[in-house]
Amino acid sequence: MAAKSRGSSGSALRWLGVAAAPAALALGFLWAGGWLSPHRVTQNRLMGELHDAGSYGHGFRRAHSKGVCVTGRFDASGAAASLSKAAIFHEQSVPVVGRFALGAGQPYVTDNPATVRSMALRFMPADAPEWRAAMNDPPVLPLRDAQDASDFFSSQRIDPATGKPDPARAKAFGAAHPWLQAAAEKNAHRVITSGFADDTYHSLDSFLLVGETGTKTAVRWAMVPVQPVAPADAEAGGRDYLFQRLIADIHDHPLQWHMVLTVAGPQDAINDPSQIWAQDDRTIDAGTLTLNAVESEDGGPCNGLTFDPLILPPGIVASDDPILQLRSGAYMRSFSLRSGEKRGPSAITPAMTQAPAAESEKKS
Partner 1 sequence: MKPAPSFSLVARVLHWLMAVMILSMLFIGVFMASSLGPGYHRLVSLHRPLGIAILVLALLRLTYRLRHAPPPLPSDLLAVLKLAAKGSHILLYALMVALPLVGWGMLSAGGYPIPLWGNGVLLPPILPHNPAVWSWLRSVHTVLAFTLFGLVLAHIGAALFHGLIRRDGVLESMTGRKTPL
Binding site for partner 1 (CB under 8 A): 1-3, 6, 9-10, 14-15, 17-19, 21-22, 25-26, 28-29, 32-34, 40-44, 46, 129-130, 146, 149, 303-306, 308, 310-314, 317-318, 320, 322, 324-326, 328-330, 335-340
What is the size of the binding site for ligand HEM (CB under 6 A)?
A: 31
Calpha distance 155→137 (Å, rounded): 22
Work out which of 87, 102, 109, 141 binds ligand HEM, going by CB under 6 A.
141
307 binds, among partner 1, ligand HEM, none (CB under 5 to 8 A by kind): ligand HEM
The site partner of 204 among ligand HEM, partner 1, none (C-beta below 5 to 8 Å per kind) is ligand HEM
Only segment of 163-171, 188-196, 197-205, 245-253 that touches ligand HEM (CB under 6 A): 197-205
**Helix/strand/coil percent split, the chain, to 5:** 30, 20, 45
- Interface pick for ligand HEM out of 76, 312, 323, 348 (rule CB under 6 A): 323
Task: Give the Cβ contact number of residue 334 at 10 Å.
Answer: 24
**Tally: H helices and E strands in the chain:** 10, 12
Indicate whether 260 belongs to the interface with ligand HEM (CB under 6 A). no
135 binds, among partner 1, ligand HEM, none (CB under 5 to 8 A by kind): ligand HEM
Q: Round to whole Å and give the CA distance between 70 and 121.
A: 9
Q: How far is CA 179 from the centre of its chain?
A: 22
Residue 331: which of partner 1, ligand HEM, none does it interact with, CB under 5 to 8 A by kind?
Answer: ligand HEM
299 binds, among partner 1, ligand HEM, none (CB under 5 to 8 A by kind): none
Instruction: Please name the residues in contact with 304: beta carbons below 8 A apart, sequence gap of 6 or more.
Output: 339
If binding is defined by CB under 6 A, does position 123 make contact with ligand HEM? no
* Residue whose CB is less far from ligand HEM, 128 or 204: 204
Q: Which is nearer to partner 1, 232 or 317 (CB)?
A: 317
What's the rounded Cα separation, in Å, for the pair 17 and 50? 45
Interface pick for ligand HEM out of 41, 66, 67, 72 (rule CB under 6 A) = 67
> Residue 6 to residues 13, 17, 18, 22: CA-CA distances in angstroms?
15, 17, 16, 24
State the chain's maximal CA–CA distance in angstroms: 96
Contact pick of 76, 140, 149, 209 for ligand HEM (by CB under 6 A): 149
Amino acid at position 305, single letter? L
Which has the closest alpha carbon to 71: 295, 309, 275? 295
Q: Answer whether 204's CB lies under 8 Å from 223's CB.
A: no
Q: How far apart are CA 108 and CA 342, in angstroms?
A: 16
* Residues linked to residue 293 through DSSP beta bridges, in sequence order: 71
Binding stretches for ligand HEM (CB under 6 A)? 46, 61-64, 67, 99, 101, 118, 120, 134-136, 141, 143, 149, 203-205, 306-307, 323, 326-327, 329-332, 334-335, 338
